[in-house]
Amino acid sequence: MNRFLSTAAALAALGGAFGSAGCVNSSRTSLQSRYADKVDPCTPERYNFLAREAALAPFDAQVTNGQVLDQYLQNGDFEPGLEGLTPGGRVKLDSLARKRPVDGHIFIQTARDLTYDAAKPAEYARAGGELNAKRGNAVVSYLTATTAGRGVAFDVTVIDPAEQLMPASGPANSVRGLPGRYASGISGITGNAPVAVGGVASTANIQTPAVGSAGSTPGGTPGGTPGGGAGTPGSRP
């Protein structure tokens, strides 16, 4: 008997713990509600969330890569074989410094504009590393000068992404077709016509009574008798 009471007390305590955690709701009375206490009560929301996260996860890498390439300076933004910025490189940095919010993490392409000597491969690697460091310092120096007084901190990371290319006709066609997306016109809606009111063109609803409509008789005025004249309704000739 004592063993049975101990087991019952343990089960009661376990049920109370589940109830306090929200797994069991003793106030439910219907069969469907009691069934929900035995299965996952968060379906389908829980699984919809997992499916949504799985569908959106690949776009995280795409967003990150796009952000990196937007903050990216290539070898062509520097003087060939040197650390000095070209005018185009300074314009690029100016645009990055004016972004809101400012992203102080700048990326530069590893130096690939050095002359390679097959007899001295180690020299090529050493010179490339030194040039990367000098170009990084040049970027930070220029950004610090062009944002003086704003208190913005910048850092540079050297990367070597694959070249990003797209057909030149694509952007050109998009630019040429953009004005055509904004067009206006007058649709041919039956019963409506533009009317000038006070010098401003507006649309008035013009209704024409149909022959034989309610309230009129053939050959007479509305409400009159057949053959009635334009006078009093119901008059005879």
Dihedral (CA of 65, 69, 71, 73) sign: positive
Q: Which residue has the tokens 């376990």?
A: 14
Residue type, 119: A
DSSP state at residue 207: -
Nearest to 157 by CA among 113, 104, 108: 108
pLDDT at 154 over 60: yes
How confident is the model over 40-50, as pLDDT tens digits? 777 788 889 99
Nearest to 189 by CA among 208, 204, 168: 204
By percentage, how much of the chain surpasses pLDDT 90? Answer: 36
Q: How many of the other CB atoms lie within 10 Å of CB of 18?
A: 12
Strands (DSSP E) contained in 90-228 are 105-109, 155-159, 192-197, 200-205
pLDDT at 12 over 80: no
| 91 — pLDDT class (breaks 50, 70, 90) | very high
Give the pLDDT of residue 237.
47
Q: Which residue has the tokens 């704003």?
A: 150
Q: Is 45 left (phi over 0), alpha (psi -120 to 50) or beta?
A: alpha
Coil vs helix vs strand at 123: helix
| 86 — pLDDT class (breaks 50, 70, 90) | very high
How confident is the model over 24-69, as pLDDT tens digits? 445 555 776 777 677 777 778 888 999 999 999 989 888 988 889 8
Which DSSP string do the residues of 54-104 spell out, in sequence order?
HHHHHHHHHHHHHHHHHTEE-GGGB-TTSSPBPHHHHHHHHHHHT-SS---
Q: How many of the other CB atoms lie within 10 Å of CB of 221?
A: 17
Both tokens of residue 161?
């992404």
| 21 — pLDDT class (breaks 50, 70, 90) | very low
Coil vs helix vs strand at 1: coil
Which DSSP string do the residues of 16-51 spell out, in sequence order?
HHHHHHTS--TT--SHHHHHHTTS-TTTTHHHHHHH
**Cβ proximity of 168 and 179 under 8 Å:** no
How do the domains of the chain map onto residue ranges?
29-59, 71-159
Give the mean pLDDT of 111-126.
92
Both tokens of residue 135?
């170009």
Give the mean pLDDT of 95-113.
91
Q: Which range among 33-37, 53-57, 71-75, 188-192 shows the weakest confidence by mean pLDDT? A: 188-192
Average pLDDT, the chain: 74
Both tokens of residue 106?
């700048």
Number of residues that make up the chain = 237
pLDDT at 20 over 80: no
pTM: 0.52
**Phi and psi at residue 21, to the nearest 5°:** -85, -5
pLDDT at 142 over 70: yes
